[in-house]
Amino acid sequence: MKRLIPFLFFLSCFPVHALEAPQIPKNIILFIGDGMGIAQITAGKIVKGRLNLEEFKHIGLVMTFSQNDMVTDSAAAGTAMATGYKTDNYTISMSSDGKPLKTVIEYAKDVNKATGLVASSSITHATPAVFAAHVDSRKKHTIIAEQIATSGIEVIFGGGWQYFVPNTTAGSKRADHKNLLADLAHSTQVIRTEEEFNNLGDVDSVVGLFSRGHLSKANKRKPGLPELTRKAIKILSKNDNGFFLMVEGSQIDWAGHDNNQDELIAEMIDFDDTIGVALDFAKIDSQTLILVTADHETGGFAIHDGSINAKKVTESEFTGSKHTAEMVPVFAYGPGASEFSGIGDNTKIGKTIIKYMKQAL
Protein backbone atom coordinates (compact mmCIF):
# COMPACT_ATOMS: atom_id res chain seq x y z
CA MET A 1 0.00 0.00 0.00
CA LYS A 2 2.86 2.38 0.84
CA ARG A 3 4.20 1.91 -2.65
CA LEU A 4 0.77 2.20 -4.26
CA ILE A 5 0.00 5.68 -2.89
CA PRO A 6 2.87 7.48 -4.68
CA PHE A 7 2.01 5.50 -7.83
CA LEU A 8 -1.63 6.64 -7.69
CA PHE A 9 -0.44 10.21 -7.15
CA PHE A 10 1.82 9.84 -10.20
CA LEU A 11 -1.12 8.63 -12.31
CA SER A 12 -3.36 11.47 -11.15
CA CYS A 13 -0.87 13.99 -12.59
CA PHE A 14 -1.95 12.95 -16.11
CA PRO A 15 -5.24 13.92 -17.67
CA VAL A 16 -7.53 10.90 -18.10
CA HIS A 17 -7.45 10.97 -21.90
CA ALA A 18 -3.65 10.57 -21.90
CA LEU A 19 -4.10 7.12 -20.42
CA GLU A 20 -6.81 5.97 -22.81
CA ALA A 21 -5.89 3.83 -25.79
CA PRO A 22 -6.03 5.70 -29.12
CA GLN A 23 -9.53 5.54 -30.51
CA ILE A 24 -10.03 3.17 -33.43
CA PRO A 25 -13.35 3.64 -35.22
CA LYS A 26 -15.50 0.56 -35.71
CA ASN A 27 -17.29 2.10 -38.68
CA ILE A 28 -16.00 4.60 -41.24
CA ILE A 29 -18.19 6.66 -43.56
CA LEU A 30 -16.28 8.62 -46.20
CA PHE A 31 -18.21 11.38 -47.98
CA ILE A 32 -16.69 12.74 -51.17
CA GLY A 33 -18.21 15.91 -52.59
CA ASP A 34 -16.91 15.83 -56.13
CA GLY A 35 -15.61 19.30 -57.00
CA MET A 36 -16.52 20.68 -53.56
CA GLY A 37 -14.16 23.52 -52.68
CA ILE A 38 -14.45 26.08 -49.87
CA ALA A 39 -16.53 28.49 -52.01
CA GLN A 40 -19.02 25.72 -52.86
CA ILE A 41 -19.44 24.99 -49.15
CA THR A 42 -19.77 28.72 -48.42
CA ALA A 43 -22.54 29.09 -51.03
CA GLY A 44 -24.33 26.11 -49.48
CA LYS A 45 -24.10 27.72 -46.05
CA ILE A 46 -25.37 31.11 -47.25
CA VAL A 47 -28.47 29.50 -48.78
CA LYS A 48 -29.11 26.73 -46.21
CA GLY A 49 -28.23 28.77 -43.12
CA ARG A 50 -26.64 26.17 -40.89
CA LEU A 51 -24.81 23.21 -42.36
CA ASN A 52 -24.51 19.75 -40.81
CA LEU A 53 -20.82 20.20 -41.62
CA GLU A 54 -20.67 22.70 -38.76
CA GLU A 55 -20.97 19.79 -36.30
CA PHE A 56 -17.48 18.68 -37.32
CA LYS A 57 -14.78 19.96 -34.96
CA HIS A 58 -11.68 18.51 -36.64
CA ILE A 59 -10.96 20.20 -39.95
CA GLY A 60 -7.93 20.01 -42.21
CA LEU A 61 -6.86 20.85 -45.75
CA VAL A 62 -5.28 18.56 -48.32
CA MET A 63 -3.37 19.04 -51.56
CA THR A 64 -4.95 17.15 -54.44
CA PHE A 65 -2.28 16.98 -57.20
CA SER A 66 -1.93 13.68 -59.03
CA GLN A 67 1.21 11.73 -60.01
CA ASN A 68 1.41 13.34 -63.45
CA ASP A 69 -0.49 16.62 -63.16
CA MET A 70 -0.82 19.42 -60.63
CA VAL A 71 -4.53 19.45 -61.42
CA THR A 72 -6.07 16.09 -60.64
CA ASP A 73 -9.07 14.29 -62.04
CA SER A 74 -11.48 12.25 -59.92
CA ALA A 75 -9.78 8.93 -60.76
CA ALA A 76 -6.35 9.92 -59.44
CA ALA A 77 -7.71 11.83 -56.43
CA GLY A 78 -10.12 8.99 -55.66
CA THR A 79 -7.27 6.48 -55.89
CA ALA A 80 -5.28 8.54 -53.36
CA MET A 81 -8.21 8.32 -50.92
CA ALA A 82 -9.07 4.70 -51.69
CA THR A 83 -5.51 3.34 -51.56
CA GLY A 84 -3.21 5.93 -49.97
CA TYR A 85 -1.13 6.28 -53.14
CA LYS A 86 -0.82 8.88 -55.91
CA THR A 87 -1.41 7.77 -59.47
CA ASP A 88 -1.80 9.33 -62.93
CA ASN A 89 -5.01 11.04 -63.98
CA TYR A 90 -7.63 8.67 -65.46
CA THR A 91 -6.22 5.66 -63.54
CA ILE A 92 -8.50 3.57 -61.31
CA SER A 93 -6.63 2.22 -58.24
CA MET A 94 -3.53 1.16 -60.15
CA SER A 95 -0.05 2.62 -59.85
CA SER A 96 1.29 4.67 -62.77
CA ASP A 97 3.35 1.61 -63.76
CA GLY A 98 0.26 -0.59 -63.93
CA LYS A 99 0.20 -2.44 -60.60
CA PRO A 100 -3.10 -2.81 -58.71
CA LEU A 101 -3.23 -0.83 -55.45
CA LYS A 102 -5.09 -2.43 -52.54
CA THR A 103 -8.18 -0.42 -51.62
CA VAL A 104 -9.76 0.42 -48.27
CA ILE A 105 -12.65 -1.86 -49.28
CA GLU A 106 -10.23 -4.77 -49.70
CA TYR A 107 -8.64 -3.95 -46.33
CA ALA A 108 -12.14 -3.76 -44.79
CA LYS A 109 -12.92 -7.23 -46.12
CA ASP A 110 -9.71 -8.59 -44.52
CA VAL A 111 -11.21 -7.70 -41.12
CA ASN A 112 -14.73 -8.89 -42.03
CA LYS A 113 -16.28 -5.46 -42.12
CA ALA A 114 -19.28 -4.88 -44.37
CA THR A 115 -18.72 -2.45 -47.26
CA GLY A 116 -20.85 -0.11 -49.32
CA LEU A 117 -20.76 2.41 -52.16
CA VAL A 118 -23.41 5.07 -52.78
CA ALA A 119 -23.15 7.63 -55.59
CA SER A 120 -25.44 10.01 -57.45
CA SER A 121 -23.59 9.15 -60.69
CA SER A 122 -23.22 5.88 -62.55
CA ILE A 123 -21.63 3.49 -60.07
CA THR A 124 -18.91 2.87 -62.70
CA HIS A 125 -17.93 6.57 -62.64
CA ALA A 126 -14.40 7.35 -61.49
CA THR A 127 -14.99 8.09 -57.80
CA PRO A 128 -17.03 5.00 -56.86
CA ALA A 129 -14.95 2.91 -59.31
CA VAL A 130 -11.65 3.47 -57.47
CA PHE A 131 -13.10 1.70 -54.41
CA ALA A 132 -14.17 -1.41 -56.33
CA ALA A 133 -11.96 -1.83 -59.41
CA HIS A 134 -8.39 -1.77 -60.73
CA VAL A 135 -8.33 -0.51 -64.32
CA ASP A 136 -5.84 1.57 -66.32
CA SER A 137 -8.54 3.92 -67.64
CA ARG A 138 -11.69 5.34 -66.08
CA LYS A 139 -13.31 5.14 -69.51
CA LYS A 140 -13.46 1.32 -69.44
CA HIS A 141 -16.92 1.29 -67.86
CA THR A 142 -17.87 -2.24 -68.90
CA ILE A 143 -14.71 -3.70 -67.31
CA ILE A 144 -15.26 -1.58 -64.19
CA ALA A 145 -18.85 -2.95 -64.05
CA GLU A 146 -17.53 -6.53 -64.20
CA GLN A 147 -15.14 -5.86 -61.33
CA ILE A 148 -17.86 -4.16 -59.28
CA ALA A 149 -20.14 -7.15 -59.88
CA THR A 150 -17.56 -9.56 -58.45
CA SER A 151 -16.29 -7.24 -55.68
CA GLY A 152 -18.49 -8.70 -52.94
CA ILE A 153 -19.40 -5.18 -51.79
CA GLU A 154 -22.57 -5.62 -49.75
CA VAL A 155 -24.42 -2.40 -50.62
CA ILE A 156 -24.18 -0.69 -54.00
CA PHE A 157 -26.52 2.21 -54.82
CA GLY A 158 -26.22 4.48 -57.84
CA GLY A 159 -26.92 4.55 -61.56
CA GLY A 160 -25.41 2.91 -64.62
CA TRP A 161 -27.31 -0.33 -65.33
CA GLN A 162 -26.42 0.13 -69.02
CA TYR A 163 -23.00 -1.37 -68.27
CA PHE A 164 -24.43 -4.38 -66.40
CA VAL A 165 -26.95 -5.75 -68.94
CA PRO A 166 -26.21 -7.76 -72.14
CA ASN A 167 -26.09 -6.11 -75.54
CA THR A 168 -29.37 -7.80 -76.39
CA THR A 169 -31.15 -5.60 -73.80
CA ALA A 170 -32.38 -2.21 -75.00
CA GLY A 171 -30.20 0.55 -73.60
CA SER A 172 -27.18 -1.68 -72.99
CA LYS A 173 -23.72 -0.23 -73.53
CA ARG A 174 -22.04 -3.62 -73.41
CA ALA A 175 -20.56 -5.19 -76.56
CA ASP A 176 -21.03 -8.74 -75.21
CA HIS A 177 -23.75 -11.01 -73.85
CA LYS A 178 -22.69 -10.78 -70.21
CA ASN A 179 -25.61 -10.18 -67.85
CA LEU A 180 -23.96 -8.92 -64.68
CA LEU A 181 -27.27 -8.17 -62.96
CA ALA A 182 -28.43 -11.77 -63.51
CA ASP A 183 -25.09 -13.00 -62.13
CA LEU A 184 -25.44 -10.72 -59.10
CA ALA A 185 -29.01 -11.89 -58.48
CA HIS A 186 -27.63 -15.33 -57.49
CA SER A 187 -25.97 -13.87 -54.40
CA THR A 188 -27.66 -10.56 -53.63
CA GLN A 189 -30.87 -8.57 -54.01
CA VAL A 190 -30.91 -6.61 -57.29
CA ILE A 191 -33.30 -3.68 -57.61
CA ARG A 192 -33.88 -1.04 -60.27
CA THR A 193 -36.84 1.12 -59.20
CA GLU A 194 -37.87 3.45 -56.40
CA GLU A 195 -40.77 1.13 -55.59
CA GLU A 196 -38.43 -1.85 -55.18
CA PHE A 197 -36.22 0.33 -52.99
CA ASN A 198 -39.15 1.34 -50.76
CA ASN A 199 -40.27 -2.29 -50.47
CA LEU A 200 -36.81 -3.67 -49.76
CA GLY A 201 -37.03 -6.14 -46.88
CA ASP A 202 -34.50 -6.96 -44.18
CA VAL A 203 -31.59 -7.80 -46.49
CA ASP A 204 -27.87 -8.20 -45.77
CA SER A 205 -26.81 -7.06 -49.22
CA VAL A 206 -28.29 -5.21 -52.20
CA VAL A 207 -27.35 -3.77 -55.57
CA GLY A 208 -29.63 -0.89 -56.57
CA LEU A 209 -29.04 0.70 -59.97
CA PHE A 210 -31.83 3.23 -60.43
CA SER A 211 -30.95 4.76 -63.77
CA ARG A 212 -29.55 3.69 -67.12
CA GLY A 213 -26.74 6.26 -66.74
CA HIS A 214 -26.29 8.81 -63.97
CA LEU A 215 -28.99 9.54 -61.39
CA SER A 216 -31.12 12.66 -61.88
CA LYS A 217 -30.26 16.04 -60.40
CA ALA A 218 -30.58 16.74 -56.66
CA ASN A 219 -34.20 17.85 -56.55
CA LYS A 220 -35.37 15.11 -58.94
CA ARG A 221 -33.55 11.99 -57.74
CA LYS A 222 -35.80 9.24 -56.44
CA PRO A 223 -34.68 7.67 -54.24
CA GLY A 224 -32.56 10.63 -53.12
CA LEU A 225 -29.00 10.53 -51.82
CA PRO A 226 -30.12 10.93 -48.16
CA GLU A 227 -32.56 7.98 -48.44
CA LEU A 228 -29.98 5.79 -50.19
CA THR A 229 -27.43 6.59 -47.48
CA ARG A 230 -29.90 5.95 -44.64
CA LYS A 231 -30.73 2.52 -46.10
CA ALA A 232 -27.07 1.69 -46.72
CA ILE A 233 -26.16 2.48 -43.09
CA LYS A 234 -29.12 0.45 -41.83
CA ILE A 235 -28.03 -2.63 -43.77
CA LEU A 236 -24.28 -2.31 -43.16
CA SER A 237 -24.59 -1.60 -39.44
CA LYS A 238 -26.01 -5.10 -38.94
CA ASN A 239 -22.44 -6.41 -39.23
CA ASP A 240 -20.93 -6.87 -35.73
CA ASN A 241 -17.43 -6.16 -37.07
CA GLY A 242 -18.40 -2.73 -38.39
CA PHE A 243 -18.46 -1.30 -41.88
CA PHE A 244 -16.88 1.04 -44.43
CA LEU A 245 -19.19 3.15 -46.59
CA MET A 246 -18.27 5.68 -49.28
CA VAL A 247 -20.94 8.19 -50.34
CA GLU A 248 -20.31 10.50 -53.28
CA GLY A 249 -22.16 13.72 -54.07
CA SER A 250 -21.14 13.31 -57.70
CA GLN A 251 -22.91 16.21 -59.32
CA ILE A 252 -21.45 19.18 -57.39
CA ASP A 253 -18.60 18.75 -59.89
CA TRP A 254 -20.86 18.80 -62.94
CA ALA A 255 -22.54 22.05 -61.83
CA GLY A 256 -19.00 23.48 -61.57
CA HIS A 257 -18.08 22.30 -65.08
CA ASP A 258 -21.35 23.84 -66.34
CA ASN A 259 -20.78 27.08 -64.39
CA ASN A 260 -24.28 26.67 -62.99
CA GLN A 261 -24.48 28.37 -59.58
CA ASP A 262 -28.04 27.31 -58.72
CA GLU A 263 -27.48 23.63 -59.51
CA LEU A 264 -24.21 23.77 -57.59
CA ILE A 265 -25.98 25.09 -54.49
CA ALA A 266 -28.84 22.54 -54.82
CA GLU A 267 -26.31 19.68 -55.03
CA MET A 268 -24.31 21.13 -52.14
CA ILE A 269 -27.37 21.32 -49.88
CA ASP A 270 -28.49 17.81 -50.86
CA PHE A 271 -25.00 16.57 -50.00
CA ASP A 272 -25.09 18.29 -46.62
CA ASP A 273 -28.56 16.82 -45.94
CA THR A 274 -27.01 13.40 -46.65
CA ILE A 275 -24.17 14.09 -44.21
CA GLY A 276 -26.88 14.80 -41.61
CA VAL A 277 -28.21 11.25 -42.04
CA ALA A 278 -24.78 9.83 -41.17
CA LEU A 279 -24.40 12.22 -38.23
CA ASP A 280 -27.76 11.05 -36.81
CA PHE A 281 -26.40 7.49 -36.85
CA ALA A 282 -22.91 8.37 -35.55
CA LYS A 283 -24.21 10.41 -32.60
CA ILE A 284 -26.11 7.41 -31.25
CA ASP A 285 -23.56 4.78 -32.31
CA SER A 286 -20.47 6.72 -31.06
CA GLN A 287 -18.09 4.24 -32.76
CA THR A 288 -18.31 5.78 -36.21
CA LEU A 289 -15.77 8.05 -37.89
CA ILE A 290 -17.30 10.32 -40.54
CA LEU A 291 -15.01 12.02 -43.03
CA VAL A 292 -16.20 14.61 -45.52
CA THR A 293 -13.87 15.81 -48.23
CA ALA A 294 -13.59 16.53 -51.95
CA ASP A 295 -11.44 15.05 -54.68
CA HIS A 296 -10.71 18.55 -56.05
CA GLU A 297 -12.35 21.92 -56.61
CA THR A 298 -14.15 22.52 -59.91
CA GLY A 299 -14.68 25.76 -61.81
CA GLY A 300 -12.64 28.17 -59.69
CA PHE A 301 -15.88 29.28 -58.09
CA ALA A 302 -16.03 32.61 -56.22
CA ILE A 303 -18.89 34.41 -54.47
CA HIS A 304 -19.07 38.16 -55.11
CA ASP A 305 -22.36 39.25 -53.60
CA GLY A 306 -25.49 38.06 -51.84
CA SER A 307 -27.39 38.30 -48.58
CA ILE A 308 -26.94 36.29 -45.41
CA ASN A 309 -30.37 37.43 -44.14
CA ALA A 310 -32.20 36.65 -47.38
CA LYS A 311 -30.14 33.43 -47.77
CA LYS A 312 -29.15 34.27 -51.35
CA VAL A 313 -26.06 34.34 -53.51
CA THR A 314 -26.75 37.10 -56.02
CA GLU A 315 -23.40 37.37 -57.77
CA SER A 316 -20.79 34.71 -58.36
CA GLU A 317 -18.21 33.81 -60.94
CA PHE A 318 -16.34 30.80 -62.25
CA THR A 319 -12.78 31.33 -63.47
CA GLY A 320 -13.12 28.40 -65.86
CA SER A 321 -14.91 25.14 -66.52
CA LYS A 322 -12.18 22.77 -65.36
CA HIS A 323 -10.83 21.39 -62.10
CA THR A 324 -8.43 23.56 -60.11
CA ALA A 325 -5.41 22.77 -57.94
CA GLU A 326 -6.79 24.41 -54.78
CA MET A 327 -6.49 22.55 -51.51
CA VAL A 328 -9.78 21.00 -50.40
CA PRO A 329 -11.11 20.64 -46.84
CA VAL A 330 -11.37 17.44 -44.80
CA PHE A 331 -13.98 17.42 -42.04
CA ALA A 332 -13.74 14.63 -39.46
CA TYR A 333 -16.19 13.56 -36.73
CA GLY A 334 -16.00 10.72 -34.24
CA PRO A 335 -13.28 8.37 -32.97
CA GLY A 336 -9.98 8.92 -34.78
CA ALA A 337 -11.06 12.33 -36.14
CA SER A 338 -8.13 14.34 -34.75
CA GLU A 339 -5.70 12.67 -37.19
CA PHE A 340 -7.20 14.68 -40.04
CA SER A 341 -6.49 18.18 -38.67
CA GLY A 342 -3.82 20.38 -40.24
CA ILE A 343 -2.47 20.63 -43.76
CA GLY A 344 -1.65 17.39 -45.54
CA ASP A 345 -1.95 15.46 -48.74
CA ASN A 346 -4.96 13.55 -50.05
CA THR A 347 -3.05 10.26 -49.68
CA LYS A 348 -3.22 10.84 -45.90
CA ILE A 349 -6.95 10.10 -46.06
CA GLY A 350 -6.46 6.66 -47.61
CA LYS A 351 -3.41 5.87 -45.47
CA THR A 352 -5.19 6.77 -42.23
CA ILE A 353 -8.34 4.79 -43.06
CA ILE A 354 -6.15 1.79 -43.94
CA LYS A 355 -4.23 2.22 -40.67
CA TYR A 356 -7.54 2.05 -38.77
CA MET A 357 -8.57 -1.06 -40.74
CA LYS A 358 -5.28 -2.77 -39.87
CA GLN A 359 -5.62 -1.83 -36.20
CA ALA A 360 -9.05 -3.46 -36.17
CA LEU A 361 -7.36 -6.83 -36.76
How near is the Cβ of 179 to Zn ion at its closest, in Å? 31
Candidates 222-230, 236-244, 252-260, 302-310: pick the segment binding Zn ion (CB under 5 A).
252-260
Residues numbered 2 to 21 that lie near Zn ion (CB under 5 A) are none
Q: Which is nearer to Zn ion, 253 or 326 (CB)?
A: 253
Q: Which is nearer to Zn ion, 253 or 339 (CB)?
A: 253
How near is the Cβ of 346 to Zn ion at its closest, in Å? 15
Q: Which is nearer to Zn ion, 146 or 253 (CB)?
A: 253
What one-letter code names the amino acid at 105?
I
How near is the Cβ of 274 to Zn ion at its closest, in Å? 19
Q: How many angstroms separate the Cα of 222 from the Cα of each of 47, 281, 346?
A: 23, 22, 32
Q: Which is nearer to Zn ion, 237 or 298 (CB)?
A: 298
Q: What is the 3-state secondary structure (H, E, C) of 276-293?
A: HHHHHHHHHHCCEEEEEE
Q: How many angstroms separate the Cα of 160 from the Cα of each of 215, 225, 244?
A: 8, 15, 22
Cβ count within 10 A of residue 249: 29
One residue of 106, 154, 253, 270 binding Zn ion per CB under 5 A: 253
Say if residue 42 is exposed, middle or buried (CB neighbours under 10 Å; 0-12, 13-18, 19+). Answer: middle
Cβ atoms of 59 and 341 within 8 Å: the answer is: yes
Cβ atoms of 222 and 208 within 8 Å: the answer is: no
**Which positions ≥6 away from 114 have C-beta within 8 Å?**
108, 154, 155, 235, 236, 238, 239, 241, 242, 243, 244
Q: How many residues make contact with Zn ion (CB under 5 A)? A: 1
Which stretches within 125-241 are classed as H helix? 126-129, 141-149, 180-185, 194-198, 225-236
How near is the Cβ of 290 to Zn ion at its closest, in Å? 24
Q: Which is nearer to Zn ion, 90 or 197 (CB)?
A: 90
Q: Which of 66, 74, 172, 316 is catalytic?
A: 74
Candidates 1-9, 12-20, 253-261, 276-284: pick the segment binding Zn ion (CB under 5 A).
253-261
Q: Which residue is nearest to Zn ion (CB)?
A: 253
How near is the Cβ of 267 to Zn ion at its closest, in Å? 13
Cβ atoms of 289 and 25 within 8 Å: the answer is: yes
Candidates 97-105, 213-221, 249-257, 267-275: pick the segment binding Zn ion (CB under 5 A).
249-257
Residues numbered 76 to 105 that lie near Zn ion (CB under 5 A) are none
Q: How many angstroms separate the Cα of 73 from the Cα of each of 137, 237, 250, 350?
A: 12, 32, 13, 17
How near is the Cβ of 126 to Zn ion at its closest, in Å? 9
How near is the Cβ of 256 to Zn ion at its closest, in Å? 7
Candidates 112-120, 175-183, 251-259, 301-309: pick the segment binding Zn ion (CB under 5 A).
251-259
Q: Which is nearer to Zn ion, 88 or 253 (CB)?
A: 253
What one-letter code names the amino acid at 78?
G
Q: Which is nearer to Zn ion, 258 or 285 (CB)?
A: 258
Instruction: Answer left, alpha or beta for residue 259, where phi above 0 means left and psi between -120 and 50 means alpha.
Output: left
* 286 carries an active-site annotation: no
Residues numbered 294 to 323 that lie near Zn ion (CB under 5 A) are none
**Which positions ≥6 away from 151 have C-beta within 8 Å?**
105, 132, 133
Candidates 225-233, 246-254, 313-321, 335-343: pick the segment binding Zn ion (CB under 5 A).
246-254
- Which of these, 304, 298, 300, 299, lies nearest to 316 by C-alpha position? 304
Residue positions annotated with a catalytic role: 74
Which residues of this protein are in contact with Zn ion, per CB under 5 A?
A: 253
